[in-house]
Each structure stands twice: as C-alpha cells, then as structure tokens.
Amino acid sequence: MIIRRFLLWVRSASASERAQGAGALARAYVSARLSPEERREAEAALLSLLDDTSAAVRRAIARELGAELDVPRHLVLALARDQSDVAALVLARSPVLLASDLVDCVETGDALAQTAIAVRPGLPLAVASALASVGAPDALVALADNHTAVLPEQLMHRMLERHGKLPALREALLARPGLPAAVRQRIAAAVAEQLTAFVTRRRWLRTERAEGAAREACERATLMIAAAERDDAALAALVRLLRAEGRLTPRLLLRGLLSGEERLFIWALAELADVPSGRVAALAADERGRGRGALLERAGIPDALRPAFLAAWSACRSFARQGQSDGDPIGLRRPILQRVIDACALRGEADGDALTALLRRFEAEVAREEARDTTALLVENAALGALIEADRAVIDRQRPAPRMIAA
C-alpha cells in the first residue's frame, strides 16, 4: 500500500522531491525488512523511476544501489547503461556487474564511464585489456593509477602506443611497482622525443644539437634501466624493444661497455647475432678473447668500430675482475675509455674517421661530467669554509675579554 501511494505521489512531485523519494525507496529496498510482495512492488517502482526525465532521480537510485550485492541484475544493468554521470556510480562499485558487462560498457561508454570502470578494485584482465585498447586518456591514467589491477607488459605498451605523449599517463605508470624495464625505456624515449620537439619549436637549440642531446640522455637512461634490472627475461625484452624501435645501435652498445655495463651488451649481441645468451657469455668469459671478433661481425658491428668494441670489452671485463668502479655507475668511465683510445691509437686510426670522432665525443662528455663534479665539490668546500669562518666569528664575539690585573 505504501509503495502504491508513493507512485501516486511521484506524479505530482517536483524533480528534487522525486529524487529524495527515489533515494529513500532505494535505501528501504536494500535495508528494510520488506515482505516478498512489498519487495516486488518496490522493485517495480524503482524500475519505473528509471524512466524519469530527471537525471537526479536516477542518480539517487544509483547512489544507493551502486555498491549493493542483493540487487536485481537487470536494474543494475539499466543504471550502468544510463548517461555517464549516473552510470559511473554503478560502474565504479557494483559487485553485480560481470566482466563481460564491464567490457561492453568500456566499448560503448564515454570517458567518464570508462574512468569509473578503471578505478574498480581487482579489475579483471579482460576489462583492463579493453580499456588499454579503446579507453580515453583519463581512463588510461586511472587504470595505471589502479595498483590492484593486473597490467601485463603488453597492455602497458598498448597504452603508451596510444597516449604515450600524455605526461600524467607516464607518471602513473612509473609509479607502479615492478615496472618492466622495456616499459621504462619506452617512457624515457617518449620524454626525450617530446623535449627535443619542445626546444626546437622554440629555437633554443638547432635541431641537430637538440636531437644529439636527447639521444645522449636517452642512452644514459637506457643504461640506467639496464643496470637496475636483475631479471634476465626482462633484460631480453628490453633488448628486443630497443631493436624493434631502431635504438639498439653500435653507439649505445659501445657506450654501455665504456660505462661498465656488460650485461646489456651480452644480451644485445645474443639478439643481433641470433646466438644463445649462454654462448655469448661463454665467449665473454674466455680470457684469450677467442671468437669475439667473429661474434661482433655476425652481430653486424661495422668493421671500423670492431677494434674499439674489442678493446672496450676487454677493458670492461678487466676492471670488473679487479672490482674497480670509477665514478657514476651508469656514466662513461675514463679508465675504460682511455684504454680504448690508446688501443685505437696503436692501430693508427685516422683522426678524421668516424670511430675517432665518436671516441672524442665520449671523451668530451667525460670531461664535462668531471668538471661538474669538481665544481660541485669546490662549491661544497667553499660553503663549508664559510660556515667555519662564521662559527669562529661568533665564538670570538662571545668570548669574554681578558681581565686586567692591577699593578
């Protein structure tokens, strides 16, 4: 009887009154002790209110029923397919919705609806896959922020392929624990490309200079990522990505050896030469260096660069055996670089060739890094000296004057 009176009252009530009444009816449906007949009538009334022209009425119902389990599925589905500000209240919370329902809503919904789905705890893989493929930028950021959602590496790559230029997406992915090395590399490359475009548009640097600086920064980031990655499978995936994107260059590999990062070099040779990584590691461990030249040739390392690679490889292993770590763990190491320069000089490499030019650029980079370190140390020492002098002045002012002894 009460439900029937409610339906009569709804016909003449204002939109705000109907919204309040709909919310009260929804609360009663899930919390009050209703008889079976009253429950059927309440359900019918709620379904009829879904046709109300005021979105506020439907929002009130969605707000009360959105997180409830004991709700008719057809009622929840109707709310999930309503306009996005109504649907979002259900899509983000309802335990009634199946993965297939959510996938359908991802494919047909707008950015707000997709974002509501993306924040759901424990998001099923099928739904995450649908979001990665068709989700709006805001939805992808929400998905990356949702650490309860399982995101396989291929889904992250798909997200970056679609909206990798979005800083918020890159930041959200970088905040995820255990981010694969290949994904970090892709983000680093995207940042470098955007910075290059930014400075060239404003004519702060010539295009060639900007691209060179970006390439250098990207190579350093790649080595940092590789050095931090302990999982061989992840390192192999990183190498495959670098090769697919055209970034697995002789310059990068030589920089790696000159920085003491041999693991990336070994996996890169295995990929380029199509040789098992264990075989490459065995050749690397051979003190006499037999077979290294042939392996470099098979990997496509240019003839002109092979002497430098052989010298760098030998020096890298020698310093590793001695436990020497000179400077930045991902930066160029002067002792290794100097040994390569000396080896090439003994071979009589021409001053104008590409190898000599590359080594000189590396040498200039090391000099800049050393100058920065020296300058920072000088500034630190100067600041420390100023503090000491200030302390002495304060002590001198506070020290009592010596007493005069009467004659």
DSSP string, 103-161: HHHHHHS-HHHHHHHHT-TT--HHHHHHHHHH--HHHHHHHHH-TTS---HHHHHHHHH
Q: What is the pLDDT of residue 406?
A: 53
Please check the confidence at residue 323 and state whether its pLDDT lies above 70: no
Once rounded to an integer, what is the mean pLDDT over residues 322-338? 70
pLDDT > 70 fraction of the chain, expressed in percent and rounded: 89
**pLDDT tens across 37-62, in order?**
888 888 999 999 999 999 999 999 99
Between 395 and 57, the more confident residue is 57
203-221 residues labelled b (16+ CB within 10 A) or e (exposed)? eeeeeeebbeebbbebbbb
pLDDT confidence tier of residue 358, bands split at 50, 70 and 90: confident
Please check the confidence at residue 349 and state whether its pLDDT lies above 80: no
Task: Spell out the residues 6+ positions from residue 92 whose beta carbon is closer than 8 angstroms to its own.
Answer: 66, 116, 117, 119, 120
The per-residue pLDDT of the chain, averaged, comes to 86
pLDDT > 90 fraction of the chain, expressed in percent and rounded: 50
Between 48 and 196, the more confident residue is 48
Alpha-carbon gap, residue 64 to 46, rounded angstroms: 12
Please check the confidence at residue 335 and state whether its pLDDT lies above 50: yes
What is the pTM for the complete model shown? 0.76
Please check the confidence at residue 6 and state whether its pLDDT lies above 60: yes
Q: What is the pLDDT of residue 64?
A: 94
Please check the confidence at residue 326 and state whether its pLDDT lies above 50: no
Judge contact between 139 and 88, C-beta under 8 A: no
Candidate from 8-12, 290-294, 326-330 with smallest mean pLDDT: 326-330
Once rounded to an integer, what is the mean pLDDT over residues 22-50? 88
Q: What is the pLDDT of residue 131?
A: 97
Once rounded to an integer, what is the mean pLDDT over residues 59-85? 94
**pLDDT tens across 246-287, in order?**
999 999 999 999 998 899 999 999 999 999 988 888 888 877
Candidate from 50-59, 158-167, 175-184, 209-218 with smallest mean pLDDT: 209-218
**pLDDT tens across 91-149, in order?**
999 999 999 999 999 999 999 999 999 999 999 999 999 999 999 999 999 999 999 99
Candidate from 49-58, 95-104, 210-219, 308-317 with smallest mean pLDDT: 210-219
